[in-house]
Structure 1
Amino acid sequence: MEKLILGLDPGLATLGFGLIKCIYNAKTKEIDSTSMVDFGVIKTTKKQEMGERLVTIYEDLHTILNTFKPDLAAIEKLFFYRMGNTILVAQARGVLVLVLAQHGIPLIEFSPPQIKQIITGYGNANKSDVQQAVARELDLDEIPKPDDAADALAVAIAASWLE
């Protein structure tokens, strides 16, 4: 069975996305292979009004979903840094959840420590360890850039292992 999984790393200025394809063994339900399909970021600027920034995220995510038609999406739960920043990211995250629901795509959510635990085996792993695990799991020659896209691929990989 083949499954296309979209990972999302929410953000208002830079929102990471990563798509992977997993082939699952029909008998054992374990992963036979995982490959990267695409990755990147949706960017907005501080010069844009808040509503305009959210519309950009809304439209760009619709384009990604219409282009790739993923079977499942996974998103990183909010991690509280600064209250002001968290509220802005929460608004962008709400747009993600809305668009996924409009497309009828099931959603799995992970906290940052859960993703680190699944990907590296250690819930307090550093960013470099997670990025190296992403490159290794997807058989990439280098770590995907920017970091937000690599983080989104980590979210997608975490979802693939729990399927």
Structure 2
Amino acid sequence: MAVALRVLGVDPGLTRCGIGVVDVAADRSARLVHVGVVRTSPDLPTAERLHLIAQGLRAVVSEHRPGVVAVERVFAQQNRSTVMGTAQASGIALLVAAEHSLPTATHTPSEVKAAITGYGSAEKLQVQTMVARILRLPELPQPADAADALAIALCHAWRGGAVASDAAGPGAEALTPAQRAWRAAERSTRR
């Protein structure tokens, strides 16, 4: 398989941070490179937990040398403490990417589900099943956080792979309408 892109996908979480690395060819065929989860204990101070997540991500980046880091975008959730932990872990993933001069992208859960299963409201088992099928794995990737990280990486590669610098800039034609809207909103907050 001629590799077009190596993507590190991150499913951010403070207790379990899913990490998946895939090689994706121009014909959209994909191969598993690495999958895992960085776990932290809720008994540790938040700063220590974030440090452990950063260490885990740095180790994966150093060993597998991805070309881009794709992170699940923190989206509206009911539980504020869960959103905070997810946002903090997401920030760590983006920081580690910046430390290694890697481009980054974020994708919403519904974008990822739609890219992998064709249905933006797919159940976790459907996503796991499709990830296993796409990567030709003998069993479903476990835990779900690891499968989600692989799905995020595949989604990014299949949705253009490149990171557009703004909503109307180069590569914008490869973005979905939702991605263009997010980029435009992000750009307006930087002014």
Indicate whether the TM-score tops 0.5. yes
Give the aligned partner of residue 74 of structure 1.
70
Identity %: 38
Structure with a larger share of its residues in strand: 1
Shift of 1:141: 1.3
Paired AA for residue 65 in structure 1: V
2:127 paired with 1:125 = no
Give the aligned partner of residue 12 of structure 1.
14
Shift of 1:87: 1.1
Match of 1:93 among 90, 95, 106: 90
Which digits, 9 at most, give the CA deviation of each residue in 1:83-120, with x for residues without a partner? Answer: 12211221121111111111111111111011111111
Q: TM-score, normalised by structure 1?
A: 0.92
Paired AA for residue 119 in structure 2: Y
Paired AA for residue 63 in structure 1: A
Quote the Cα distance in structure 1 between the aligned partners of 2:78 and 2:66: 30
Q: Which moved more, 1:110-119 or 1:1-10?
A: 1-10
Paired AA for residue 125 in structure 1: A
2:41 paired with 1:39 = no
Shift of 1:81: 3.1
Give the aligned partner of residue 136 of structure 1.
133
Shift of 1:72: 1.1
In structure 2, stretches of 5+ residues that fail to align are 162-191
Paired AA for residue 105 in structure 2: I
Quote the Cα distance in structure 1 between the aligned partners of 2:130 and 2:98: 30
Give the aligned partner of residue 51 of structure 2.
55
Number of aligned residues: 157
| Aligned-residue RMSD, C-alpha | 1.1
Paired AA for residue 36 in structure 1: L
Quote the Cα distance in structure 1 between the aligned partners of 2:21 and 2:92: 19
Find runs of 4+ consecutive structure 1 residues off by over 2 angstroms.
Answer: none
Higher RCO structure (Cα 8 Å, ≥6 apart) = 1
Shift of 1:23: 2.1
Quote the Cα distance in structure 1 between the aligned partners of 2:121 and 2:43: 35
Q: Which moved more, 1:57-66 or 1:80-89?
A: 80-89
